[in-house]
Amino acid sequence: MYHATPYDISAMGFYFETYEEYCKKSQTHTNEYGQPVEEYEIQFIDGDNHELFRALGINQANLKQWFDDFEELDEENTAKATYLAGDVGYSIDNILDKLDDVTLFEGTAIEYAEQFIEDTDMLQGLPDNLRYYFDTEAYARDLLAGGDITEVTIMGTAYVVTGG
């Protein structure tokens, strides 16, 4: 659910759910003096993609692109697009081409480091009695400090991001 709030203070806004509905209502929308209303602030009222909507800076000019390309993204691609727009600064026109460059890991940097160490057998060459001395927390901090990974919270979920 969305709301088109006119900049014209003598006009009432309207709710809409699709781009077609927005177009239909905005084409016939008038203020209290019968003059056409031309400019609106587009507000996200209800739904799951409010963070992405805000990160993309959706307005009248890019509303059609929102409905065509972003409104129906799955949860993973919504999180990736939110990261690319809000944290990296990509424009709405470039984000879809970059989604495959981003990898998400749900969890913290320490959890990511633990999983990475396990998946890559990074400590395989060390004797068992020395493996316990490896500082996973320090390794995670180094990954963050070196820019290899980024920790973000998107839609209330903690992610570690690589790529982008």
pLDDT in the model for residue 80: 96
**For the whole prediction, is pTM greater than 0.75?**
yes
Q: Give percent of the chain above pLDDT 90.
A: 84
Give the pLDDT confidence score for residue 134 in this predicted structure. 86
Query: Which pLDDT belongs to residue 5?
Result: 97
Long-range contacts at 118-122 (CB < 8 A, ≥ 24 apart): none
Residue 163 has pLDDT above 90, yes or no: no
Structure tokens at 110: 């320490």
Residue 54 carries which side chain, given as an amino acid letter?
A: R
Q: Which of 12-16, 30-34, 116-120, 139-143 has the lowest mean pLDDT?
A: 116-120
pLDDT band at 17 (very low <50, low <70, confident <90, very high): very high
Distances (CA, A) of 72 to 3, 67, 106, 128, 155: 18, 8, 21, 49, 16
* pLDDT reading at 76 higher than 80: yes
Using the predicted structure, report yes or no on whether residue 131 has a pLDDT greater than 90.
Answer: no
Mean pLDDT, the chain, as a whole number? 93
Per-residue confidence (pLDDT) for residue 123, from 0 to 100: 85
**Residue 92: pLDDT above 80?**
yes
